[in-house]
Structures are given as structure tokens and as C-alpha cells.
Chain A
Amino acid sequence: MAEKITGAEALMLSLKAEGVTTIFGYPGGAIMPTYDALYDYTRGEKKCFEHVLVRHEQAATHAAEGFARVSGKVGVTLVTSGPGVTNTLTGVADAMMDSTPIVVIAGQVGTAVLGSDAFQEMDLVSVSQPITKWTYQIRRAEDVAWAVSRAFYIASTGRPGPVVLDFTKNAQTELVEYKPAKVDFIRSYVPSPEPQDEAVRAAADLINNAKKPMALVGQGVELGNAQEELKAFLEKADIPAGRTMLGLSALPSNHKLNMGMLGMHGSYSVNIKEQEADVLIAIGMRFSDRVTGDLKRYAKQAKVIHLDIDPSEIDKNVKTAVAVIGDCKETLPAITKLISKADHTEWKDSFQPLRQKEIDNVITPATKPVSGPLLMGEVAHAVAKATGGESILVTDVGQNQLMSVRYFKYHKPRSIATSGGMGTMGYGLPAAMGATFGAPDRTVCCFMGDGGLQMMIQEFGTIMEYQIPVKMILLNNSYLGNVRQWQDMFFSHRRSFTPMCNPDFGKVAEAYGIPHRIVSERADLQDAIQEMLNAPGAFFLEAVIKPDANVEPMTAPGRAVDEMQLNVEC
């Protein structure tokens, strides 16, 4: 008879079997047996995990998200019951919106007291079901191997997403004969539907007859690892492409068919031309309202081809002429095979005057000002230039995000981690920490605002303890800048609770032993960025920027995409 081990140790072996190397977590009462097992698996001869002790559980899920985004692997979070796991739920919801594969394992009170309002008991299954791809309560040690394998299978396949495992205390302590489990089939779950030949043919027909085709590239291309297949497709039919914010690194910034970013603060030409294209090919994107503007007036002239792995995205927001359901790693080459070589020079060239207008009116003034205070775009542009498009961009949410994603350059796949659907302030710093573990050979630049940084500033502690080499760039305008911009634009300049009274951030960094520098003069910017990049580990660069600069261009909410304004009027 095989030796019996605890459910907690079975969890360790199950995680090891899934190839887990890094766990972001925080211990507490109901998960103590698991942390006791983890003690052995993070040191000595059994060592197989690195456990990163975050300073707040929300940071653990964002770190897992950042890890997953840049590595393509499943991020793992380990926390206790009750408040421990409620703290993670913002990150879980964020991962659900942005299709990020993470597994959150939370302690739970013993099954004997479930439902009795025991200390730190919380009905996790009910609470997390709507914001997870799958949630399961492990009530017996026998179920650990199966549940963990099923969790990783669900999180990582099809359209990825978060899975929560509610691990009761008795299941952690009970003894079990550990038998490895490998779930790679669930009869009720078809992760990647088989491509339908008919749909592929219909899509190819539409593309072959298009005069003004345009591709809308989303994160699905990165999740499907189909960056090369995308290039082959676009290049064969000479199709100009816009990318969503989450899909920015799916197509290199310097690719000749990359026309810019879609959406509210995306590229002017792309937004205008969406209203002129005769065929739109959406690839792994979900027509978010931040991309489409007023849906009733969105691309009504165009026939829409929608490639997505998730059937529930088809016709959800935009009605499609042809839906090609399946993994774009398969559907893109299938369509490429059937499309004819084409030359759309005239159509592509028609983007140029609009592009030039944006350069003259927005990009040059935002990135190369000659006088006045430092600007957000200027700092983002300078960091992008200094890193040569090779590094990973992680952002917080708000103006810092919109400006850094606009002016950063992406030459490699999986180079951006940002909170898209949820718009979670506080995401940036922990996600950047996670990204350094997910891509240890790459530089990770994290852009934050003074608002978002303070939502997760305690993570300086984690950065200090684990010497996490995050390049932190604080764009400090002493405002909740994006809300301030909207107040100025739509609420008669009534700046209701958006000015921020901030601490001396440099001193805070100093207290954690993090090298830092503050820059407010244009002449010092390059040097400060070089100092940051040359530093061997973490570095905190605070850029004091113009207090009330706006993100431009902008499609105001409720407006159609071609009503985008180059310069906003406040």
C-alpha cells in the first residue's frame, strides 16, 4: 500500500505536476495546513516552488495575472479564507474580463462547520461563480489531484480565464493515497470548437471581394499564439490592421500593416477608417464599447467577419456576416490558404493623411514638446525609445495607461500587461512584479499614476524582499488624471475629489531600500531613464508631469468612432 500524505501535500504534488514554479500568496488560518506543506516544497531537497509573499492578497492575483500574460502559463495564487480570498476577487474579476488564466487556491473552513458562520467563513463558491470560468469546493483529500488538474485544464484551454478552488481545511489535513490525475477532457466543455469549412470559405470569399478590408487584432491572437499566422494572413491579402489595447503586441509596432491602436484613445486614422472599410475582420477581439463607441453607428457599411474561440462573443455586440469559430491558430491559416494575394496600396495609403494629422496635432506635441512641464507622452516615448521596443510594458489604469500604451513600442509578442475590461486601478505594480517572474530575461517597465500606485504601494515591501527588478515609472500629476479630464470635459470643470495630496514618494521608496530618482526637467529625462535601466534591480523613477494634461485623441462616450477629436476641448 502506498504511503498516505495529507491533502495539503497532495496539492503540492498536483501543482508540481502542472509545472507550477511560482506561487503568489499570503497565509492565514484556514490555509495553514497547506502553508505547512509548502514549507518543505520551497526549500531543501523537495524544493520546487518559489513562493512570493505579497503584502495584500489583491496583489497576489494581479501578480498571477502579470505572470500569465507575459508567459502564457497559468498564474497561481494561494490565500486564506474569508477576507484573504475576498481581497483576491478584484483580480479574479479582472482576469475574467481579460481572459487571463489564473488559479486561485483559497483555504476554507472545515466541511463540518460550513454554513455555520464559522470564523473567516465566506460562501466563496456563490460569490466567485459569476466572475470565474470555474469554481470548485474541494471537500475531500481524494479530490485534490482531480480538482487541481481540472482547474489548470479549464483555466488554460479555450478562452482562458480564472478558476477558484475553495479548499476546505479538513481536505487539507486528511490523509490520502496520492494518485496523480490528468484531466484533458470534459464532455460538457469544448475548449476549441472545430473550424467549419463553410465559414472559412465564406470568410475567404468576402476578403477576396473586399476593396477596403481592415483587420481588428485582439488579444486572442496572443492567447492562441498565432502571431506568425496573423502576419501571414495580413501580408497575403495586404490588409491594414488596427490592434486593441490588449492585442498591441500581437503584431509588432513596426510591421508595415500595423495602422495603430483601436478605441477611444487609439489612433485617429484607424478610428476614422473603421467607418469606411467594406470588410472588417475581427480576430480574437470582443468589440468592447471602448473600441466601438456608439454601437448603433459602428461600421454599419462593413461586412464583419468575426474569428473567435468563444461562440458567445459572436453577435454579442456587433452583428457578423460570417462567424469563424475556433482557435485562430487554426482558423487564420485555413483562411489564408483560400485568400488570393492582393494589393491594397491605395486603401492603405488613404490612412496616411489622417495619420499625418494625428502626428502634427497630437503625437509631436505630446512626445516632443520644447517647453513647459514634462508630459506623460514624452516620458512614455522616451522610455520606449531607450528600451528599443524590446521590453515589457505593464501599466496601471488611467491616463498613465492610455499614454504609455499609445507611445510604447512592441517588437516581441506578449509584451503588454494592462487591465483592459475591468480598468482596475492598482493592477500595475503587482502585475509588473508577476511579469518579472513570468519573463525573467526581459526588462519590465511599469507605468503608474499617483492614484493607482497608492492603491498597491505596500508592494514596495514585496519588491524589497524578493529584489524584484521592476522598472517603475510614476507619472505624477497629483491628480486622478483621467477622471479629472472627464470632469473638465463633461462635468463643467468641477474637479470633485480628483486633486491628490501626495506623500514624498521618493522617501517611501527609500524606506524600502528601492533606488529612486525624481525628474521634473526635460534636460534630465534621458539621463534619468538610463539610470533606471542601468540599475541592476528595481528602480523607482518619479516624473513630475503637467498637472492637467489630457489624453488625446479621444472619442467621447456615446460618440461614433469617426467623431473622434484630435484635440479635446475642455
Chain B
Amino acid sequence: MIIYSENFAGILNQITAVFTRRQVNIESLNVCASSTPGVHKYTITCNCSEEMVQTLCKQIEKKIDVLQANYFTDEEIFIMEACLLKVSTEGLLQNPAASKAVRHRGARIVEVNPTFSIIEKKGLTDDIISLFSELNALGIVRQFVRSGRIAVTRDCIEHLDRYLESRTQKNN
């Protein structure tokens, strides 16, 4: 789901409360300022039926300070996630499979010191999880963190801009 709201305090609470009430778990959540000044963008992923996500969108959009709430399937958006893996440097050096996995998955080693190394990887969920699983199986992972999913629509029309434009016209 991609949601746009005004930049007021307390809106994230209102959005997540809709999920809680409908007993849908949020799989990942990313909140940031959007390209439009004063507008915040929420990128949320969840597993639920299309019927449920339609209900969630309508109930979220009903919140006074929410501008738009829409849902997309993977085909309709360009998705990106990132992860960081902190691994033991000794483990990395002793396991050729580790550096092979890093190369194979297109990850980058961004820091190396005698104790630990940090691996960074961008990509899709499955890709990131596979890298983690491979390294974890070698017993060298100390920390793992995966970002919330971020996404932009593949649509040629910018619906938020259109909405804001129509609302501005309405007000004039």
C-alpha cells in the first residue's frame, strides 16, 4: 500500500490502528517525506486478501488528514529493499562459500575490520532472504537488518499530483 498524508503528528498511529482492528499484520513499513513538500509517504506491505486490502485502504483514506491510500500488486510497482549483514571477519575469511554468496547475490562488502565486516545488499525480499540464509547457514552472521519495502508506481500518471491539483482548483 502506498499512502500519502499531511505532515501532522499522530497519523501513523491512526493508520496502524486500522490494521490492528482488522487483524492484519504489517510486514514492513517505511515512512518518509515525499517529493511533494509537506506530504508524507507511507509504504506498507502486508499479506491479506484483495477484499481486505480494499477495506483497509478505504478506512485509512477516511482519516481526515490522509490524502490518498492505494494498494498495488508487485507487477504494478517498482520495489526495492535493502539489508545490512554484520558478519564475523574470521568466518568470512574461513568460508569461501561466504564471499561466493556475496558475489553471486550482487552484494557489497562496505566495511572490513579484524573483528567484523558489513555486507550491504539491495534487491527484492527473496533475494535478500536467500543471501541471509546462505550466510547464516555458515554460522557467521552477527546481526541482520532488512529495510521496509520502498516502491514507486509504474503508472505514467501521478495520481497524487492530480488529486492535489483538483483539490487546489476546488478551493479557488
Contact = CB atoms under 8 A, between A and B. Distances in A.
A186 B58 CA distance: 18
Contact of A310 (B62, B64, B164): B62
A188 B10 contact: no
B28 interface: no
A315 B64 contact: no
Q: Is the interface of B mostly helix, strand, loop or mixed?
A: helix
Given A312-B58, A312-B59, A315-B54, A188 B65 contact: yes
Interface string B10-30: 100110010001000000000
A135 B8 CA distance: 12
Interface stretch (A42-50, A59-67, A98-106, A126-134): A126-134
Contact of A187 (B10, B17, B21, B171): B171
Interface string A284-313: 000000000000000000000000001110
B54 A125 contact: no
Contact of B64 (A185, A188, A312, A316): A188
A497 interface: no
A187 B67 contact: yes
B64 A311 contact: no
Q: Is the interface of A mostly helix, strand, loop or mixed?
A: mixed
16 contacts: A125-B10, A129-B14, A130-B17, A135-B10, A185-B170, A186-B64, A186-B65, A187-B167, A187-B171, A188-B5, A188-B6, A188-B65, A311-B61, A311-B62, A315-B51, A316-B55
Interface residues of A, number: 20
Contact of B13 (A129, A186, A314, A316): A129
Contacts of B115: none
Contacts of A126: 10, 13
A130 B62 CA distance: 12
B19 to A, nearest CB: 12
Interface string A305-332: 0000011101110000000000000000
A19 B62 CA distance: 27
Interface of A: 125-126, 129-130, 133-135, 154, 185-190, 310-312, 314-316
A315 B17 CA distance: 20
Contacts of B35: none
Contacts of B17: 129-130
A383 to B, nearest CB: 39
A316 B10 CA distance: 26
Interface string B135-172: 00000000000000000000000000000100110110
A134 B64 contact: yes
A133 B168 CA distance: 23
